[in-house]
Amino acid sequence: MTSEAGGAGDVPRADVLVVGPLANVDLALAEALSRNGLRCLVVRSARAGMPDPAAPPIPLRHLTSDRILANRGHLWFLARCRRVRFIVSATGSLLGFLGPLWFLRRWLGIPPHMNITTGADITEMALEGSLKGFLFRRLLRAAAFNWIPTTTHALAALRRLRLTNVAFMRFPMPLRGMADAAGPAGPVTYLHCSHLDWGLTDNKAGRNSTKGNDRFFRAFARAVADGADIRCIVLDRGPDRIAAREALRRSGCEQRIEWRPATDQAGLARMFAEADVVVDQFDAGFFGWTAWEAMSQAKAVLIHLDPECVDLLYDGAPPVLSCRSEEEILRQIMDHQDREALRALGDAARTWVWRNHGSDADMAEFVFRICVASGLEPPGRATAVAGR
């Protein structure tokens, strides 16, 4: 392997530098880009921590552990930037890694960059009147392109900012193979694993990255009262977790609820086997990482999908239980009490998510955009499928 002097050990040569550890987006993108022929480095802060090479948080088959580096400060990071041709930054992480050097980027030889927005960064922070919001808008406008999730509020933010250097692409998820499990028995089991957040506790002005899960709990309680044989596992996480406990206690269905502590991605993957239906969100209008992972495990997903958001990426409606209002959620719960029908929906969901997100469906465009912006020669693609 060809290396260069790195000041503290050898650093492999690379075309692309990737930063932004939220939900391991950095590892997922570097793995996909490596699979498609680009040499990548990932740099992580001490706060994010380094992945365990023996048990990485997501499957890594093309990105090797020597290409995942711990950050050693602004000047060290600048040196890494100047030795690559392009930077991929998630959630504005490039600003933090460069610090004050960001303002001198045009004179310091920092290569072009793109930004991946993941949620509240584009729907809230990009619209703030704060210094953080101002800097993030500058990052977005200076990018070669921005990968934007097609959520309802993200699209509204694009219109408000009049941001045109954007791309909508299907994220190449590092999906896991099916877990070996017999599946749940007894009552139809719901797994509520999204943040407990409907804007009750954290309700600052301009906030819109809520989940709307208070509507699910009201609908769930009504379904129990109407005789539905159901139960729900709830992860104890999110700003409205105390309010959720109190609301469920008052609802009279507390005996149908099992509380679990928050867990990591690996723990959540194991928990999917206990559920018939995974509950996502009812405000964003589009998928998040958890919903795709649940679908890969052949689970039915209860979620709000906005047709405008869906039509920007997919042909036809995804096989999920789509709903938004309390009445719609109640109707989906009452209409889907047949476990075999839920399993059939889960099988369809698994096929769909592997075709759209377990493959490199849009990576050819992503790699081409990077090559155009950086002057790199387009590499040969190693494979079209992320692996099962």
Q: Please check whether residue 307 is in contact with residue 286, taking contact to mean a CB–CB distance below 8 angstroms.
A: no
pLDDT tens sequence across 102-111: 999 999 999 9
- Rounded CA separation 312/25 (Å): 21
Place of tokens 């994010």: 48
HSE at residue 335, side-chain half, CA atoms within 13 A, is 10
Q: Reduced to 3 states, what is the DSSP secondary structure of residue 359?
A: strand
pLDDT tens sequence across 150-170: 999 999 999 999 999 999 999
**pLDDT (0 to 100) of residue 7:** 43
Global confidence as pTM: 0.89
Per-residue pLDDT of the chain (388 residues; tens, 9 = 90+): 344 434 445 688 999 999 999 889 999 999 999 999 999 999 999 888 999 888 888 889 999 999 999 999 999 999 999 999 999 999 999 999 999 999 999 999 999 999 999 899 999 999 999 999 999 999 999 999 999 999 999 999 999 999 999 999 999 988 888 776 667 789 999 999 999 999 999 888 888 889 999 999 999 999 999 999 999 999 999 999 999 999 999 998 999 999 999 988 778 888 999 999 999 999 999 998 899 999 999 999 999 999 999 999 999 999 999 999 999 999 999 999 999 999 999 999 999 999 999 989 999 999 999 999 999 998 875 444 544 4
Output helix, strand, coil percentages for the chain, rounded to the nearest 5.
40, 15, 45
**How large a percentage of the chain has pLDDT more than 90?**
81
Residue closest to 114 by CA, chosen among 163, 173, 47, 56: 163
Place of tokens 């900012």: 161
**pLDDT (0 to 100) of residue 388:** 46
Q: What is the dihedral of CA 121, 142, 22, 355, to 10 degrees?
A: 100
pLDDT tens sequence across 78-127: 999 999 999 999 999 999 999 999 999 999 999 999 999 989 999 999 99
- Rounded CA separation 149/268 (Å): 23
100: DSSP letter:
G
- Rounded CA separation 84/86 (Å): 6
Residue closest to 23 by CA, chosen among 155, 116, 124: 116
At residue 24's C-alpha, the angle toward residues 360 and 380, to 5°, is 30
**pLDDT (0 to 100) of residue 181:** 66
Residues β-bridged to residue 16: 40, 86
